[in-house]
Homo-oligomer: A and B are copies of this chain.
Amino acid sequence: MPRREAPSRGFPVSEFEARLEKAQAAMALGSMDAMLLTTEPEVRYFSGFLTQFWQSPTRPWFLVVPASGKPVAVIPAIGAQCMSRTWIKDIRTWSSPNPADDGIVLLAEAIQEMTDPTSRIGVMMGKETHLRMPLEQYAGLCEQFPAAEFVDATSVVRDLRMVKSEAEIEKIAHICGVASDAFDALPGFAELGMPEADIFRRFKIELLNCGADDCPYLVGRAARGGYGDIISPPTERRTADGDVLILDTGSVFDGYYCDFDRNYAFGSASDAVSKAYVDVFRATEAGLEAARPGATTTDLFTAMNKVLEEAGALSNDVGRLGHGLGMQLTEWPSHTSWDFTELEPGMVLTLEPGMEFAPGKLMVHEENIVIREGPPQLLTKRAAPELPVIS
Partner of A78, one of B95, B209, B319: B319
Q: B58 near A330 (CB under 8 angstroms)?
A: yes
Which chain B residues border A215 with CB–CB below 8 Å? Answer: 214
Q: B135 near A131 (CB under 8 angstroms)?
A: yes
| Bound: A129/B330 CA distance, A | 23
| Bound: A56/B192 CA distance, A | 31
Q: A99 near B338 (CB under 8 angstroms)?
A: yes
Q: B135 near A229 (CB under 8 angstroms)?
A: no
Q: B127 near A130 (CB under 8 angstroms)?
A: no
Which chain B residues border A218 with CB–CB below 8 Å? Answer: 52
How many chain A residues sit at the interface, stated as a range, is 35 or more
| Bound: A81/B220 CA distance, A | 13
Interface check A250, CB cutoff 8 A = yes
Interface check A208, CB cutoff 8 A = yes
Which chain B residues border A219 with CB–CB below 8 Å? Answer: 51-53
8 Å CB contacts to B: which residues of A6-37?
none
Q: B136 near A229 (CB under 8 angstroms)?
A: no
Q: A329 near B56 (CB under 8 angstroms)?
A: yes
8 Å CB contacts to B: which residues of A49-77?
50-53, 55-59, 76-77
Q: A55 near B123 (CB under 8 angstroms)?
A: no
Interface check A174, CB cutoff 8 A = no
Q: B209 near A205 (CB under 8 angstroms)?
A: yes
Q: Pick 16 A–B contacts, CB within 8 A, sort by A.
A: A51-B231, A55-B250, A57-B128, A58-B334, A59-B319, A81-B228, A97-B127, A97-B319, A99-B336, A99-B339, A129-B135, A201-B208, A201-B209, A204-B208, A205-B209, A208-B208
